[in-house]
Chains A and B, each alone.
Chain A
Amino acid sequence: MAYSDKVLSHYEHPRNVGTLDKSSESVGTGLVGAPECGDVMRLQIRVNPETQVIEDAKFKTFGCGSAIASSSLATEWVKGKTVSEALTISNTDIVKELALPPVKIHCSVLAEDAIRAAIGDWKKKNGVAEEAGVAVAASA
């Protein structure tokens, strides 16, 4: 199975590889894994507290080319978006952009999970309720 040009481009020249300060109030860290293939992915965002815009994003992924490309693309996409805009990114967008074959769809799922986990961590640090929590509270 051949990788698409876009996967190769992200795999050979991954964008935004690196680390943000995990202990910073404005940084959210998501660490997720796909046990089926042993992949592990860390995605971090730095959020402007005033505007809730994601000003920086970094990732580090141990896994196959598609997992690396999916997380690289995810960091590119979240940058410049507000937290709530970033939550609208879904794995199918990543599948389309990278032309991932069916066997690699779980890599895009992992990248979406990583975005959600990073935003969830940032919300927890900053006392912003996750929407599920709000929904439960509202229906209670």
Chain B
Amino acid sequence: MGGDEQSDYFTIFSMPARLVIDLPALEKSFYALSRRLHPDRFAARPADEQAAALAESSRLNDAYRTLKDPIARTAYLLKLEGVEMEEQSSSATAAARATGSSKKQIVPEDLLEEAFELNMQLEEMRMAKQMGEDDPQLRKDLLAAKSSFDAKMAAAQAELEALWTRWDAALDADDATAKAAARDAMVALLNRRSYLRNLVRDVNDALEA
């Protein structure tokens, strides 16, 4: 694989940039590559070679950690495809300021409304809980909210996996339009997921408090 800093994480493992991946094969490949870079093998080598092997080994670890995690893998691929969500966001604000218009939100309106509404409901429950100690109805409401958020998270995960298949098919067919469509759908889904993730975290906090 060489010490090429430019090679992306998929290339390090000699894999195409597909999203449905063979995890056991990835793991096997990771261990094989790790052994080749093990410090013991470089103990008798010059210092610069040792340092290079160490750097490569650390990049290999980053690559493995990123690719084996479904969300990190998706986000990484989107980055490779040129999606920089935060960057997009601040440049869009600068453009809006220059033209005196409102900025087009990256997150669709209905998702923002849903996230806002769910946060409002959750906050009401949390405030009521702070006031009235152990109201069994509140706990029931919180548990219902939790199972609803968990179900939405699970649905988002299933939807994401379907998009992986769509992406892989578009990649294999070398279909730029289909690739762009799958990419945009994944960006939208990851955005939605980050709102859901916060809601799940907050409802769990409320239940434990």
A: which residues have CB within 8 A of B? Answer: 30-38, 40, 42, 60, 62, 87, 90-91, 105-106, 109, 112-113, 116-117, 119-121, 130-133, 135
Contacts of A112 on B, CB cut-off 8 Å? Answer: 93, 97
Interface size class of B (residues with CB under 8 A): 20 to 34
Check B115 for interface membership: any CB of A closer than 8 A.
yes
Given A35-B194, A35-B195, A38-B194, the answer on whether A120 and B115 have CB atoms closer than 8 Å is: no
CA distance A130 to B101 in the complex (A): 6
Q: B99 → chain A, closest Cβ, in Å?
A: 4
Contacts of B102 on A, CB cut-off 8 Å? Answer: 30, 113, 116-117, 119-121, 130
The A-contacting residues of B in range 164-196, CB under 8 angstroms, are 190-191, 194-195
Given A31-B113, A38-B197, A42-B116, the answer on whether A113 and B99 have CB atoms closer than 8 Å is: no
Check B36 for interface membership: any CB of A closer than 8 A.
no
Query: Given known contacts A32-B105, A116-B96, A130-B101, what 9 new A-B pairs fall within 8 Å (CB)?
Result: A31-B112, A32-B112, A33-B107, A40-B119, A40-B195, A62-B119, A113-B93, A121-B102, A132-B100
Contacts of B106 on A, CB cut-off 8 Å? Answer: 35
Residue pair B109, A132 in contact (C-beta under 8 Å): no
CA distance A40 to B116 in the complex (A): 6
Residue pair B97, A90 in contact (C-beta under 8 Å): yes
Q: What are 30 A-to-B residue pairs whose CB atoms are below 8 Å?
A: A30-B102, A32-B103, A33-B105, A33-B107, A33-B111, A33-B195, A36-B86, A36-B194, A37-B194, A38-B195, A38-B198, A40-B112, A40-B119, A60-B120, A62-B116, A62-B123, A62-B198, A87-B100, A91-B93, A106-B86, A112-B93, A116-B96, A116-B97, A116-B101, A117-B105, A121-B102, A131-B99, A132-B100, A132-B101, A133-B101
Given A32-B112, A33-B195, the answer on whether A113 and B100 have CB atoms closer than 8 Å is: no
CA distance A43 to B160 in the complex (A): 32
B73-109 CB mask vs A (1 if < 8 Å, else 0) is 0000000000001100110010011011111011101
Name the residue on A nearest B123 (C-beta): A62
CA distance A112 to B85 in the complex (A): 17
Cβ-closest 9 pairs across A and B: A120-B102, A131-B100, A132-B101, A35-B191, A38-B198, A132-B99, A62-B119, A116-B102, A38-B194
Partner of A35 from B85, B90, B99 at Cβ < 8 Å: B85
Contacts of A109 on B, CB cut-off 8 Å? Answer: 89-90, 93
Contacts of A91 on B, CB cut-off 8 Å? Answer: 93
B102-134 CB mask vs A (1 if < 8 Å, else 0) is 110111010111011001100100000000000
CA distance A31 to B105 in the complex (A): 9
CA distance A131 to B198 in the complex (A): 36
Residue pair B103, A113 in contact (C-beta under 8 Å): yes
Name the residue on B nearest A119 (C-beta): B102
Partner of B107 from A35, A60, A120 at Cβ < 8 Å: A35
Name the residue on B nearest A84 (C-beta): B100
Contacts of B197 on A, CB cut-off 8 Å? Answer: 38
Name the residue on B nearest A38 (C-beta): B198
Contacts of B109 on A, CB cut-off 8 Å? Answer: 31
CA distance A37 to B195 in the complex (A): 8
Residue pair A106, B90 in contact (C-beta under 8 Å): yes
Q: A130 → chain B, closest Cβ, in Å?
A: 5
